[in-house]
Amino acid sequence: MFGLGPIGRWFQRPEEPAKEASAGLNLAAEDIAELAAVGKQVAAEYGMSSPAVLSANLQRLIRRQVPIRALRAAEVSSVCGLHFADGTVVLVRGRHSGDLGRVAVGIQFGPVRVDDFHTEAGQVTLDVSYSGRHDQLCVLGVTGPR
C-alpha cells in the first residue's frame, strides 16, 4: 500500500493465525482466532495512521504542491477531512477552538496551502496558511488517492 514496501506487506499477512502463534501461551484455538480478528480490526482502523505513514503522505502532498479543495466534517465531533485535489483525505482536528472553522472559511476565499508538518512525541502537526494567516492542525489519519 502506498508503495511503502515492508509496511504494505505487513497489511497483507495471511488471514489464518499460525499454529505456532500460541507456542508456550497455552491458548485455545478459539482464543487465537479471536485475538487474530481483534488484531486485524486494530490494524484496519489505526495501522494506516502511524506517524511514518502520515509523514510519507504529507511529504508527497507538499512536494507535489497538491491543492486543498475542501474541508468536510467527519463522523466524529471536532474532526474534519482535509480533501486534496488528488483524492487524498487527511483527517485533522484543530489544536484550538475555531481552527477548523477558520480553515474552512479560508478555503472559500482563496487557496489554502500546506507549508510544513512536524512530528513530535508520535503526533503529527500540519502547518497551513491562507490569506496571510497560519494555523496548525493535528493530523489523525490519511487515505490515499483513489
The sign of the CA dihedral 108, 114, 118, 123 is: positive
Do 59 and 114 lie in a common domain? yes
pLDDT (0 to 100) of residue 41: 63
Instruction: Determine the distance from the C-alpha atom of residue 32 to the mean position of all C-alpha atoms in its chain, rounded to a whole number.
Output: 29
Do 135 and 66 lie in a common domain? yes
Are 88 and 98 spatial neighbours (Cβ–Cβ below 8 Å)?
A: no
pLDDT (0 to 100) of residue 131: 86
Do 11 and 24 lie in a common domain? yes
Q: Is residue 83 part of a domain?
A: yes
How far apart, in whole angstroms, are the C-alpha atoms of residue 73 and residue 82? 9
Do 69 and 88 lie in a common domain? yes
Domain range spanning residue 32?
A: 6-47
Do 58 and 126 lie in a common domain? yes
Q: How many domains does the chain have?
A: 2
Do 66 and 116 lie in a common domain? yes
Q: What is the pTM of this model?
A: 0.65
Render pLDDT for 65-115 as a digit per residue (tens, 0 to 9). 999 999 998 877 788 999 999 999 999 999 888 899 999 999 998 899 999
Do 97 and 130 lie in a common domain? yes
Do 43 and 58 lie in a common domain? no
Render pLDDT for 24-67 as a digit per residue (tens, 0 to 9). 677 888 888 887 777 666 555 544 568 888 998 999 999 999 99
Do 66 and 130 lie in a common domain? yes
